[in-house]
């Protein structure tokens, strides 16, 4: 799956045209002309040049030479044009896809709430507690007396949105800007949840409007593309809260992200790049393509978060990391491959955004660029986060130059030779007159250029359907 970058069927690079073939054509034509002269010469001796007897032979010899040269050079030119079209089309396609994948959002601010103090630094190996065997708590903010359900949802959202007050002021957005809020929980976000969010937003930020976009519980990280395409500030809230339904509820956890496509005052702000769909059956190929897209320099990668992978896929991922020689932080657990499910809990599809929040936190702690791999409900996605500039690949530096129209020029010369030879036979008196010569010279300039350019256009039109079919089949 991966990025599914279109690939046209590769074209074999044609060999350079050989001058020795042209020399062979000339020598063959001269040899045949000599044979004709010998066979046509009477016993009395050669015809004098003033008789004009050899003029037709000269014309036929030139026509034969130009015909053979046109055939040879046009075949070479057609092959060269196919190769030229393929290389330039592939380079332009790769450049366009890389430009699309390099689109990103700035993480203006992020906040993570967990019931276990320093949970994410502990998972990343930055903090090692001693003798901490206490059972983890279930509720966030136990000091807030709120019953399970919508009230717990409101309390957590209030803490997240309140923490963004300074960051929203830093954005310095005009009042007419609408913020988009994407909300994902372990259950469906209902209209009641939306009403609570709108009332809370108007209380905290009365000057800004809010558009709430509920995210399905089964959705993974495809929302990243939706945020990118919005071109407006976005907030993301992902949480697991106690709704009073489960007998043994998971510990509450929440992540909030403030995303903006605008340039920020902080040049080192983390960047969230476009998510790539993964095919877990072809995980090595997809991760190789993710690395080669250079959303972040490969040498800056330090941590890899993953969730929803089976034991077999974990082993496969470890082998892929080894084969790709990813420079993960060796001091981190599992050599920099962080299993979010084992370290934090089985939060299913929520783990995608929770891991992004954890990765953003690690970046602010100086842990470099990171990958996030989330698999849930039959879909899998990979997201790159980092504070380095993306690396632009130079797809056009080694492209071949435009094909020299040698075949078209020779064919144009042949066309003009036959054309004016026919005119000379039909109107000899006019052609060899003063005005005839002037007309011949002026017309020759137009027909030589026009026929060469026209033949090149016709050749491109004839080759275009074949190349389009090749590109479609390759895609």
Interval 398-427: pLDDT, tens: 888 888 888 888 888 888 878 777 777 777
Lowest mean pLDDT among 121-135, 239-253, 312-326, 330-344: 121-135
Per-residue model confidence (pLDDT) at position 301? 94
211 band by pLDDT with thresholds 50, 70 and 90: very high
46 band by pLDDT with thresholds 50, 70 and 90: low
Which candidate, 221, 226, 237, 227, places its Cα nearest to that of 275?
221
52 band by pLDDT with thresholds 50, 70 and 90: low
Per-residue model confidence (pLDDT) at position 11? 79
Per-residue model confidence (pLDDT) at position 185? 93
Per-residue model confidence (pLDDT) at position 232? 82
Per-residue model confidence (pLDDT) at position 257? 95
- Report the predicted TM-score, pTM, of the whole model to 2 decimal places: 0.82
Per-residue model confidence (pLDDT) at position 263? 61
Average pLDDT over the chain, rounded to an integer:
85
Angle at 366 between CA 226 and CA 274, to 5 degrees: 15
Q: Is the pLDDT of residue 132 over 60?
A: no
Q: Is the pLDDT of residue 452 over 80?
A: yes
Of residues 364 and 59, more confidently modeled = 364
Q: What is the percent of the chain with per-residue pLDDT over 90, rounded to a whole number?
A: 41
């Amino acid at each position: 799956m991966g990025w599914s970058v279109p690939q046209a069927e590769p074209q074999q690079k044609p060999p350079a045209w050989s001058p020795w073939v042209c020399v062979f054509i000339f020598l063959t034509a001269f040899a045949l002309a000599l044979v004709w002269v010998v066979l046509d010469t009477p016993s009395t001796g050669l015809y004098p040049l003033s008789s004009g007897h050899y003029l037709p032979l000269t014309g036929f010899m030139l026509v034969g030479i130009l015909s053979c040269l046109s055939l040879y050079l046009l075949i070479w030119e057609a092959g060269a044009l196919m190769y030229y079209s393929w290389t330039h089309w592939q380079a332009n396609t790769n450049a366009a896809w890389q430009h699309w994948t390099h689109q990103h959002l700035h993480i203006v601010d992020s906040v993570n709430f967990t019931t276990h103090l320093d949970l994410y630094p502990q998972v990343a190996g930055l903090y090692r507690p001693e003798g901490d065997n206490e059972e983890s708590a279930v509720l966030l903010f136990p000091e807030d007396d709120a019953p399970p359900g919508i009230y717990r949802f409101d309390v957590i959202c209030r803490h997240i949105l309140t923490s963004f007050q300074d960051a929203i002021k830093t954005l310095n957005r005009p009042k007419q800007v609408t913020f988009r809020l994407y909300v994902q929980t372990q259950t469906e976000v209902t209209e009641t949840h939306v009403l609570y969010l709108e009332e809370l937003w108007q209380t905290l930020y009365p000057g800004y409007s809010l558009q709430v976009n509920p995210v399905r519980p089964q959705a993974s990280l495809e929302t990243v593309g939706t945020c990118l395409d919005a071109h407006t500030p976005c907030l993301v809230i992902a949480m697991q809260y106690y709704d009073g339904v489960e007998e043994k509820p998971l510990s509450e956890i929440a992540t909030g992200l403030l995303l903006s496509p605008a340039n920020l005052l902080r040049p080192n702000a983390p960047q969230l790049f476009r998510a790539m769909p993964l095919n877990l059956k072809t995980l090595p190929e997809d991760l190789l393509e993710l690395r080669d897209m250079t959303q972040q320099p490969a040498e800056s990668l330090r941590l890899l978060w993953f969730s929803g992978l089976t034991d077999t896929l974990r082993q496969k991922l470890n082998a892929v990391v080894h084969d790709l020689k990813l420079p993960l932080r060796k001091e981190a657990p599992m050599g920099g491959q962080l299993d979010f499910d084992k370290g934090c809990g089985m939060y299913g599809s929520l783990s995608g955004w929770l891991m992004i929040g954890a990765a953003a936190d690690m970046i602010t702690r100086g842990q470099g660029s990171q990958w996030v791999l989330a698999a849930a409900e039959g879909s899998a996605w990979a997201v790159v986060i980092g504070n380095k500039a993306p690396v632009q690949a130079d797809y056009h530096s080694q492209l071949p130059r435009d094909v020299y129209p040698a075949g078209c020029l020779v064919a144009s010369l042949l066309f003009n030779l036959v054309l004016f030879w026919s005119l000379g036979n039909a109107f000899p008196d006019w052609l060899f007159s003063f005005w005839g010569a002037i007309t011949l010279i002026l017309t020759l300039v137009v027909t030589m250029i026009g026929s060469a350019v026209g033949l090149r256009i016709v050749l491109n039109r004839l080759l275009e359907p074949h190349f389009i079919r090749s590109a479609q089949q390759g895609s």
